[in-house]
Structure 1
Amino acid sequence: MDNLINSPEDVGYLHYYEIIEHWLGSDAEVADLFNRLCQEVVFDVNDSYLSRMSEHVNRYYNHKWNTWLASLRHNYFSNPWAIISFFAAVVLLLLTFAQTFYGVYGYYFPRG
């Protein structure tokens, strides 16, 4: 759990989605509790049964394309109107390019 909870914001997020429930005074106290829980215990991360999954999660998180795509979804595609306006802008841009192409093509290669 210490890998999941490092700050009061993490505790607030887990509490909001009802993953954890606490009866302490604040989220900061819960975060401090989890961060101090196994402070003196020696733990080999590579020997854990979750080490492969943790490695996959870290590799996925550190990949530039995934972080860029997640940021794009979170910032620009958070509601249906943003998605519709994005596709409308792409269609209008493609139609503008087609109009420009056929205008130039008709000028340099006229019919008959």
Structure 2
Amino acid sequence: MCPDYENDYGVTSYIAFLDSLIDEAKDVMYLRKARILSNYLGSDEEVAQLFNGIGTDLVPNFEIYKDVRSNIQDYYKKKWRTWMSEFFHTHFNSPWTVMAFLAALFAVLATGVQTVYSVLSYYKQP
């Protein structure tokens, strides 16, 4: 960055913002899965080291991403979203578990419908 050039420090602020989000390889993995980052370096650990090293001497404008940071904090303050996310990540991590759940749900619903019809037919008999 040239100190004589007037700018809003958008690039350095974005790098500093990503540096604040990335501390370890697991953070890079989450950002890759959300399609926020693309990793062409090789490992997620290398990307984490790159952002942690490159963000040390930056002069960012923290006001640019203040709304994004507050929206992220508001999102994670809602516990039910975290619980639902953990539930789906734990119990529905493969297509087979989703199919098994749908099959079990269908079986329970079919059993319920059969029970209702058998009770109704019992009371209609003379």
Normalising to structure 1: TM-score of the pair?
A: 0.61
Q: Which runs of 4+ in 1 moved over 4 A?
A: 17-22
Find the counterpart in structure 2 of residue 30 from structure 1. Answer: 49
How much is the aligned-residue C-alpha RMSD, in angstroms?
3.7
1:63-78 counterparts in 2 under 5 A? Answer: 63-78=78-93
The structure-2 alpha-carbon separation of the partners of 1:104 and 1:63, relative to structure 1 and needing over 3 Å to count, comes to: same
- What is the letter of the counterpart of residue 109 of structure 2? L
1:42-81 counterparts in 2 under 5 A? Answer: 48-81=63-96
- What is the letter of the counterpart of residue 4 of structure 1? L
Find the counterpart in structure 2 of residue 102 from structure 1. Answer: 117
CA distance in 2: counterparts of 1:61 and 1:20, whole angstroms = 29
Deviations 1:46-81 (A, max 9, x none): xx1111111112212222232122222211222211
Normalising to structure 2: TM-score of the pair?
A: 0.55
Aligned partner of residue 6 in structure 1, secondary structure? coil
Find the counterpart in structure 2 of residue 4 from structure 1. Answer: 21
Higher relative contact order (CA 8 A, sep 6+): 2
| Count of residue pairs brought into register by the alignment | 102
Aligned partner of residue 83 in structure 2, secondary structure? helix
